[in-house]
Amino acid sequence: MKNLSANLPNLLSLLFVAMMGSSILTLLPLWVGAFTDQGIFSAQQIGWLAAADVIGIFLSSASAIFWVRHVRWRRTVLSGMALFLIANLASIGNTDFGALMLVRVLAGIGCGSAYAIALAGLSDRPNPPLAFGLMVTAQVIFGTIGFFAVPRLMQQLGIDGFFHYLNGWLVISLLLCVLAFPASSRQVDSQNSSQLGALIHPKALTVIFTTVIYYCGVSAVWAYLERIGVDMGLENAAVGDLLGIGFAISGLGSLATPLLASYLGRIPTLLLAMLVQVATMAALIGGQTLDAYLLYATTSIVFQFFWSFSIPLLMDQFNRIDQSGRFIVLCASAFKIGEILGPPLAAALISAGGFAAVLGLGMGCLLLALGMGITVERWQSPATPVNTETAAA
């Protein structure tokens, strides 16, 4: 608790920025559902619009490994968040696919630059595992409120209500950043290029691709989870409420990770997290003969819980592989590459028969990520003693 209270205003500003960094993915099912109901764009166009913000976030966060320890954090974060807000305003009433894609990529660039700095700032905290756990909690709170509020806003304002919801939180985040945003506490020699090259090696690349593949599968299913519920015969409001309940409960997942990892070990914990998510996807395939509401409620809630449960394990692999505080920013890039690939691939696989192929894609990606994640853990175990606290990263 002493670590938590240290520079609490700075921590709060970091958490809000990190929360907004994942805001689009958090509410992606509502975003996709609203565009689908509009009937303006094709399924493939909707898939690309779902990935547009993520493309921008990737472009800015991937480059952050070069600049994150050299720029003025507060100025850069304020500029990025302001660009995100302005792009949201420019999206209101915009029905031209090309123009909207461009605006959403710009939104992602602003969001991603701020998000990368927030991740670096959280890694500078006295207790990084605790800070990362709080980040997941903040994202869960944002999503829980959003799943209940956004559908009701969109009933009155259409898809514009989505952008108004984002901007409300962005205004609060900007105020917090003006009042209290930390500076970097680690200095990196900008002339030492070999130091940067040392960060990118086969083990590091495996860590990155494990997260990319995992998030490709998760985002593919997540983007269409709302549509899957509607396809099962549930009302939009009921689906939104169930997703909101599941998201609220998922916050407990990141808190349970260190407890279970200390009891079972890191590899068995990773096995449990991935296999349960695969089981929820398998249950949705051919589940039309079961009680639709009970099946969807159970699978969507359990899926979200273990998604939140998995994130600390994946983030901890980034945090333990480097002490300079730069490699952690590539965690955001890995998330975003997966999120860029997932929705368009899912859109291409949707057929008249339903979403079985989308769920199959998710299952395949998670099983592959599981195998790679276990490999990473076996590589790191001899060199890095197991620290049960860092499992909550």
| CATH number of domain containing 276 | 1.20.1250.20
Please indicate, yes or no, if residue 191 is contained in any of the structural domains.
Answer: no
Q: What is the pLDDT of residues 66-81, one digit of tens each?
A: 888 888 899 999 999 9
Q: What is the pLDDT of residue 187?
A: 60
pLDDT for residue 110: 94
> What is the sign of the dihedral through the CA atoms of 151, 284, 22 and 123?
positive
- Alpha carbon distances (Å) from 19 to 14, 81, 107, 291, 345: 8, 12, 15, 35, 26
Structure confidence at residue 188 (pLDDT): 56
Q: Which residues of the chain have pLDDT under 50?
A: 1, 3, 190-194, 381-393
Asked if the structure places residue 103 within a domain, the reply is yes
Please tell me the predicted confidence (pLDDT) of residue 54: 80
Q: Would you say 302 and 164 are in contact if contact means Cβ atoms under 8 Å apart?
A: no
Dihedral of the alpha carbons of 229, 235, 237, 240, in degrees to the nearest 10: 0
Cα dihedral 196, 339, 367, 63 in deg (nearest 10): 0
pLDDT (0 to 100) of residue 58 = 82
Q: What integer pLDDT is reported at residue 257 of this predicted model?
A: 75
Residue 189 placed within a domain: no
Displacement of CA 283 from its chain's centroid (Å): 24
Domain assignment of residue 3, yes or no: no
SS3 category, 324:
coil
Q: Please name the residue that has the structure tokens 């590539």.
A: 330
Q: Which H helix or E strand runs over 367?
A: helix 356-383
Whole-angstrom distance, CA of residue 56 vs CA of residue 336: 9
Alpha-carbon gap, residue 327 to 341, rounded angstroms: 22
Structure letter (DSSP) for residue 226: H
Question: DSSP letters along 94-115, please?
Answer: ---HHHHHHHHHHHHHHHHHHH
Q: Is residue 2 included in any domain, yes or no?
A: no
- At 389 the pLDDT is 34
In a domain, 4, yes or no: no
Residue 34, class by beta-carbon neighbours within 10 Å (0-12 exposed, 13-18 middle, 19+ buried)? buried
258 touches 392 (CB < 8 A): yes
DSSP per residue over 169-188, as a string? HHHHHHHHHHH--PPP----
The reported pLDDT for the residue numbered 189 is: 52
Write down the pLDDT at residue 193: 43
Question: In the chain, how many domains are there?
Answer: 1
Assigned domain for 374 exists: yes
Q: Which domain holds residue 373?
A: 10-182+199-392
Helical H segments across the chain, by residue range: 2-5, 8-21, 23-26, 28-38, 43-62, 64-67, 73-91, 97-123, 128-157, 160-179, 193-199, 202-223, 225-231, 236-264, 266-284, 292-320, 329-349, 356-383
Residue at 190 is within a domain: no
* Integer angstrom CA distances of residue 154 from 50, 84, 157, 229, 363: 17, 20, 5, 18, 32
Instruction: Return phi, psi of residue 328, to 5°.
Output: -60, -30
d(CA 321, CA 302): 30
Burial of 119 (0-12, 13-18, 19+ CB in 10 A): buried
Beta-bridge partners for 354:
351
